[in-house]
Chain A
C-alpha cells in the first residue's frame, strides 16, 4: 500500500509550519478538503471525521480557570501511558535490529527522549547487534538504550522487547542486573514488552535478511534455511519463531515479569488477531500496564507480501476492540498503531478509546528526510537498483552522521503535537482524557455501527427527529 512519505518529509523539514498550507501560496490559492480518493480495499481512520460542537461547556470551564478566552496552546497534550508520563499521546513503536531500524534507531531515540515520548526497543537488537559491544558496524543495544535514557527530558520511558531468541541471551535479566540501567529501573523508567504479535505479520515470527557474518554467528539460535557454513551468498533469510501462546501462557508471562522484575512496567504488544478482544481482556485482568495493538497496515522491515495483503484485521477493526474494552471498563493503557501518522489519527484514536498512538514508519521517514540525498533515493526508489543499493547503504551510514536526523524527527513530532492541540481545542476540549466518542463521526455506515458513533449523513444518535419545543 502506498505510504505518504512526501507528507512526512515535508513535516520533517518544516516542523510546525507544515500543519498549514504552504505559506508561499497564501493569497494566491484557495484550499479545501480532498473529496476524491483512490479505491481502497479496507476502511481507514481517514473514513472518520472529527465533529466540533457549537456549544463548548469545557471551553467555558477552561476560560474561568485562565480568566481569558482559551486558545489551542492551552491544550495539555501530556498524559500517562502504562505508568509512564508522556508529553503527548504518541509513543515510538518498538523497532528491532534490522539495518535501517537500528541505524536510525539511535537518532530516533534521542529525538523521542527530547520530546518526552516513550521509546520502544524491538527484538533481536542485542542478539544481532550486540548487547554492550558492537558486533557489527552499527550501534549496540546499550548504545541505543542509554542514548535514550540519558537524553530524557520531561517524560517518557524505555520499553524493551525480548524475542524467543533474545531469551537465549536472557536479555531482560541482563538489563535488570546491569548497574548502568539500575538507576533508571529504580526511578521506574523501564518497561519490558512481551511481543505477542505484529500487524504486518500476525502469526509469523520475525523475518529479516542478515549478512553471512551475522548468519554464521547466530545460526544456532535462529532458523536460517540456507546453512551459511555450506551456502555462500550475500544475504540469508533469518526466521524467528512466532512463539506459542495460549491464554494461560500469556497470563503467566505477564505474572512472571511482575514477580521477577517488580520494578519494571509490563507492556504487551499484540497484532490484528481475530481473538484480540480476549487478548486485551487477559492483559487487563493480569494487571499488565499497557497493551499495544498493531493493525494489519502496520509497518515492518520485512514480511511476506501475501501476509501484508491478506493476514489480519485492519487498524480500524483493532481500534474497535480497544473501544469495546474501554466500555467494559478496562484499566490497562491501550495503544493503537498501524499506518497512523498525523494529528487527526491521534485525536480520532483517543476519542475512540485509545490512550495513545504508536508511530513506527513516520519516525523512520522523518529521520531519513534530513539525510542528504535520502529523499531523492526514496522518492525515485533508487535503493532498488542493483549497483545503487550498496551505495545507498553507504550513503545512509555516512548520512546519519552528517544529517540532522534528530531535528527531522523532532520537527515531525512537533507538527503532530500542534495538530493534536488545534484539533482538540476545536472540539472544545483541553485534556487528552476528555476526548470521547461524541467527537467523531463516520463516513461509512459500517464504521458508525462498529464504534456506535454518529453516521455523518444521519441524525446524531439518540436524537429524536421530533423537535423539542422550548
Chain B
C-alpha cells in the first residue's frame, strides 16, 4: 500500500511531479494506454479509418449545458477550438468510401464552474468520436455496446493490477464485472418514470440533497428535459451493468441530433451510461442532414446559421444520413479504474475554475 498523497485538482498546482510519478497514478495512466489500444483494435477490425483531430475552424458545434467555446485569432478572423468533432466527422463519413471514420479527438470546453463540482467534467478531454454513413442511432448503439464490451473484456485480463488502484482509492469494487449483450435499453420516458417512482422514497431524496446540495430533486425530473446530474448519478448507481437511455426530448441537444420524422419533439439519440454512479460514458445520435431541417433546428437552438456557412453548403449538396457517437476517454478510464473523480484520469487535468498546470 502506497502513501496517501493529496489528489484534489488544486494539488496539481502544488507539486505535479509528486502526483504523476506516484505508482498508483502511473498505473492509471497505463490503463488509459491499454484502453486506447483496445478501442483502436476494435475500430480497426470493424473497418473504420482513423483521422487526426482538426483542432480549429471558423465554427464549432454548439455547446451543451452552458459550456463556452475557446477562440483564437486567425489571420484577422477569430477561429474556434473544437468542442467536438461533429461537423468534421459528418463531412468525412460522407466523403470517405469506407463510410466509417473515427478520431481520438482532444476537445476544449469552457465549462461552467458548477460542472467542475460533478467530478465528471474536464475542460480539456479526449473523446473517441466516430461516425457511420447510412446508419441510424440503433445501429451505432450496437457498435457502442460491442466496443465497450471489448474494452471491459480486455481490461479484465489485468484485474490484479486494477485491484491495486481500487484499494488505493478505497473502492468497494472487488472484480471488474463483465456483461453480455445486448445491454438494457430505456427510452428517456421510461427512465424518467423509473426515477419518478424512486423519488417517492424520502431516503433517496435525502441522499441526493446531501450529496449534490440540490433543494428539491423531485421537482427537477421532467419528461421534457434532460435528466439532471444528480438523477443521472442515481440511475447509474442502481445499475450493475452499463445501459442505454435513448429517445431524448428535443431541447438540450445540438441541432445535429435528428428528430424522428414521425415523432415530433423526440430525438433519434442516446446516451450510454456506466453503472455504479459513473454515469454517462457516451452520447450519440442519427444526424440531421437535410439543410432545410438543419436551418430550422439551428434557430430552435438559438444558433446563427450564417456562421455555419461551410457546413450548410456541404449538407446542401452532399448531405447523407449518418449516425455516430463520442465516448469519453477519461470517463472510460474512471469507470474501469473506479476512480473517485475524473480529474485523476489525466496527468495535468483542467477542472473548471481551477488554475493548475
Contact = CB atoms under 8 A, between A and B. Distances in A.
A138 to B, nearest CB: 22
A177 B112 contact: yes
Given A256-B252, A259-B65, A259-B226, A246 B302 contact: no
B353 interface: yes
Interface string A157-177: 000001011011010111011
Contacts of B77: 220
Interface string A170-194: 1011101101001001100000001
Given A182-B112, A255-B225, A260-B252, A173 B67 contact: yes
B118 interface: no
A205 to B, nearest CB: 12
Interface residues of B, number: 33
Interface string B97-119: 00000000000001111100000
A243 B306 CA distance: 12
A460 interface: no
Interface residues of A, number: 33
Interface of A: 162, 164-165, 167-168, 170, 172-174, 176-177, 179, 182, 185-186, 194, 220, 243-246, 248-249, 252-253, 255-256, 258-263
B300 A249 contact: yes
B299 interface: yes
Nearest to A165: B304
Nearest to A171: B68
Interface in B58-111: 63-69, 77, 110-111
B302 A170 contact: no
Contacts of B297: 252
Nearest to B65: A260
B299 A173 contact: no
Nearest to B229: A262
6 contacts: A170-B69, A177-B68, A245-B299, A252-B301, A253-B300, A260-B63
B226 to A, nearest CB: 5
A245 B68 CA distance: 24
Contacts, number: 88
Interface string B24-35: 000000000000
A259 to B, nearest CB: 3
A256 B68 contact: no
B57 interface: no
Nearest to A253: B302
A249 B66 contact: no
A281 B28 CA distance: 53
Given A259-B65, A260-B66, A177 B252 contact: no
B251 A256 contact: yes
Contacts of A194: 302
A246 B225 contact: no
B302 A162 contact: yes
A260 B228 contact: no
B7 interface: no
Given A173-B63, A176-B66, A261-B66, A256 B302 contact: yes
A173 B66 contact: yes
A162 to B, nearest CB: 7
A263 B114 contact: yes
Which 4 pairs show the lowest CB-CB distances between chains A and B?
A255-B251, A259-B252, A252-B300, A173-B68
